[in-house]
A = this chain, B = another copy of it.
Amino acid sequence: MTPRTDPLTLEVVELIGTVVARYHEEYEHAAAEHALTGAQARVLGLLAREPLPMRRIAQRLKCEPSNVTGIVDRLESRGLVERRPDPADRRVKLAAPTEAGRSTAEELRAALGFAREPLGGLTFAERTVLKELLRRMLGMDAEDDTEDTAGAAGTDPGEGSAPLR
């Protein structure tokens, strides 16, 4: 509830704003390289993970379902996505990437170098600390910490994971 307007906090806020700006810059640029808009790239990325009903796409994008129609229309007209019927419910249409769509999505993901390239300048311990701080900042404290994190646990969790006092 406390406002928190000390210089250090304000500087961190400023830095986060810069991170956000650069992230978007790189994202839009990567999408444009494939002649896609940001929204189209986002939907293609979602579908590359798993086919989704139109309704679900709208929920992920936090927009009205009517907008998804046009976005998928454009992706479909370019042969990157196709609409398939849902056997379980004839009202829903599942949007799924074509083969071309899958490879485009993969290239897009690979081009999104942000935070992967710059992260290279950080040591393993530093990346671990950064992960912890971001998680706490996002209110993900110690909840469900038992997924892909396990894979990296065997190397050197040591004081990197400590609360830092």
Contact = CB atoms under 8 A, between A and B. Distances in A.
Contacts of A15: 131, 134-135, 138
A142 interface: no
Interface in A1-27: 1-13, 15-20, 22-25
A8 B151 CA distance: 8
Interface in A123-153: 123-131, 133-139, 148-149, 151-152
Interface stretch (A49-57, A69-77, A96-104, A112-120): A112-120
Please state the number of chain copies in the assembly: 2
A87 interface: no
11 contacts: A4-B120, A10-B148, A11-B148, A121-B136, A122-B133, A122-B136, A126-B136, A126-B164, A129-B133, A130-B130, A130-B133
Interface of A: 1-13, 15-20, 22-25, 62, 110, 114-131, 133-139, 148-149, 151-152, 164-165
Closest 8 CB pairs of A and B: A7-B151, A15-B134, A8-B152, A7-B152, A13-B115, A118-B137, A16-B115, A130-B133
